[in-house]
Structure 1
Amino acid sequence: MSDDSDSLGLRAALSIFGDMVQRRRQASRWSFLEVSEKTGIEIAALSDLEQGREALSEAAIERISEFLGLGPDVFSKLLRNERIKAANRAAASNDGRREIVVDIARYRESWQETTSQPKD
């Protein structure tokens, strides 16, 4: 996988995981302060996590996941799936670009043949 698809996969996984954490925290009526005190994760880091802006350490992700009842490996599964999706999208878009380049090259050749000056 390329670095771009890894990065895109990470951002997508963070966004999805952040939404999951936020929904579960709000459904349980936990404040940031309460979750912070129970998990040992700073309030700012929890806020960034819910907004999909920051990846916590693996241990912190496991703590918040277990505390909210999401399961310890939910983030790693999300990350793997989102990286695969990003890699597949990148591969599909690269295939499409190659076809367009070939079509343009073919068009250019036929255009040059039909628009060139007559030979003396």
Structure 2
Amino acid sequence: MQLVEPRPNRAIPIRITPLIDVVFILLVFFMLTTRLLPVDYLELANNTSSRSPVTGEPLPELTVTANGDVRWQGQPVALDRLVTELSEAGITEVNLSTTGDTPLGAFTAALSALTDSGIDTHWKRTNATTP
């Protein structure tokens, strides 16, 4: 006499819905309890009292053209000559922009040459005009 019925030979399906619920609960828990940045090392310096409200003279505008030359004061100048002229003039900070057809390599070469010579270079981003 058999008291327990034998199990069928087919596989019992695993229900995934409770597992997905647990994973989402864990995800929300870790997202809420984790800090993305170490707050102990975050330094905020909002002291602007030493700065003057007058900005002084504007920074020189340099524009990299499609052929790799850089325009300064409306005239194209070779990159190596430009670095020398800027250093001799005592200029330590410039704004660098590009024309719409300037290749990335020309921009990178100009930016690297200026930065390597100790000139603080700010990229002035301009929107490309579509014809």
Superposed pair shares fold, TM > 0.5: no
Structure with the higher fraction of residues in helix conformation: 1
Shorter-normalised TM range: under 0.3
Higher Cα Rg: structure 1 or 2? Answer: 2
Structure with the higher fraction of residues in strand conformation: 2
Q: RCO higher in 1 or 2 (8 Å CA, sep ≥ 6)?
A: 1
Q: TM-score, normalised by structure 2?
A: 0.23
Q: TM-score, normalised by structure 1?
A: 0.25
